[in-house]
Amino acid sequence: MSLIEIRNLKVHYPIRGGFWNRVVDTVKAVDGVTFDIEAGETYGLVGESGSGKSTTAKAIIGLEKATSGTVTYEGKNVTKAENRRKIDYNRDVQMIFQDSLSSLNPRKRIEDIIAEPLRNFEHLSKDDEKLRVLQLLDIVGLGPDSLYKYPHQFSGGQRQRIGVARAVATHPRLIIADEPVSALDLSVQAQVLNFMKRIQREFGISYLFISHDLGVVRHMCNNIAIMNRGRIVETGTRDDIYDHPMHIYTKRLLA
């Protein structure tokens, strides 16, 4: 059994228009996507802008409703919100976003931002909570003086580390990282990616790693799926995809 199994997942958006506001068309953002992620691996989801990567991620974590298909986590069907609530899914599966400035609440101090998932899922005393937040900051290489600062007081790379600290706060099994380094300078990208790898080794986390950047994916991922127009057109190991691409779309991406 894999950690998570995605089967024939579809997310279709109705487009409404005209005087009666009827459904005039549908956007098939995700149109029948199937893949598995094993415990401890980094699974890459690659494709151009608009191919449906983010929508796939949101449907897996429950930010977007699946039109059809299933998501099975440790053998349990978590496609519906009520089933996700029954097990620890919302604690076990966390997300890191591309744009840390808009995904971190600008009015909250770093202490509160990182403590938020702890407050939702664990009921720690004030002292224990602060200790955990300090440990998490330390893990991502930030000092105790960060506690009382606000997101805008950090660089993009530091903010991404704060996003990583928040994501690992509840000891998740899977982190969905949607273009986690795309907004960063090359030198800072490497730093954040190496952090993510270290945390993966230390905590035994799996990643669903979403990117349009094939260099970054090659550095990070064991298995890769290539997405185009809402569908997966090719899957394989890193070597399969980079050394022997089969699909014309994959060849084009690599070129």
Ligand X SMILES: Nc1ncnc2c1ncn2[C@@H]1O[C@H](COP(=O)(O)OP(=O)(O)OP(=O)(O)O)[C@@H](O)[C@H]1O
Nearer to ligand X, 65 or 198 (CB): 65
Cβ 127 to ligand X shortest distance, Å: 41
d(CA 96, CA 166): 9
Cβ 98 to ligand X shortest distance, Å: 8
For residue 175, give the nearest of 184, 191, 164, 185 by alpha carbon. 164
Cβ 171 to ligand X shortest distance, Å: 27
How many residues touch ligand X (CB under 6 A)? 12
**Is residue 27 near ligand X by the rule CB under 6 A?**
yes
Cβ 195 to ligand X shortest distance, Å: 22
**From candidates 35, 42, 44, 47, binder to ligand X by CB under 6 A:** 47
Tokens of 153: 């007081």
Binding mask 48-87 for ligand X (x = CB under 6 A): -xxxxxxx--------------------------------
Nearer to ligand X, 41 or 179 (CB): 179
Nearer to ligand X, 83 or 182 (CB): 182
How crowded is the C-beta side of 137, counted as CA atoms within 13 Å? 20
**Is residue 173 near ligand X by the rule CB under 6 A?**
no
Stretch that binds ligand X, among 33-41, 46-54, 135-143, 200-208 (CB under 6 A): 46-54
**Footprint on residues 193-222 left by ligand X (CB under 6 A):** 212
96: CB partners within 8 A, 6+ apart: 160, 163, 164, 167, 175, 176, 177, 178, 180
Tokens of 166: 């928040």
How does DSSP assign 97-159, residue by residue? -S-HHHHS-TTS-HHHHHHHHHHHH----HHHHHHHHHHHHHHTT--GGGTT--GGGS-HHHH
**Is residue 21 near ligand X by the rule CB under 6 A?**
no
For tokens 């014309």, the residue is 248
Cβ 181 to ligand X shortest distance, Å: 13
Cβ 111 to ligand X shortest distance, Å: 31
Q: List residues binding ligand X (CB under 6 A).
A: 13, 27, 29, 47, 49-55, 212
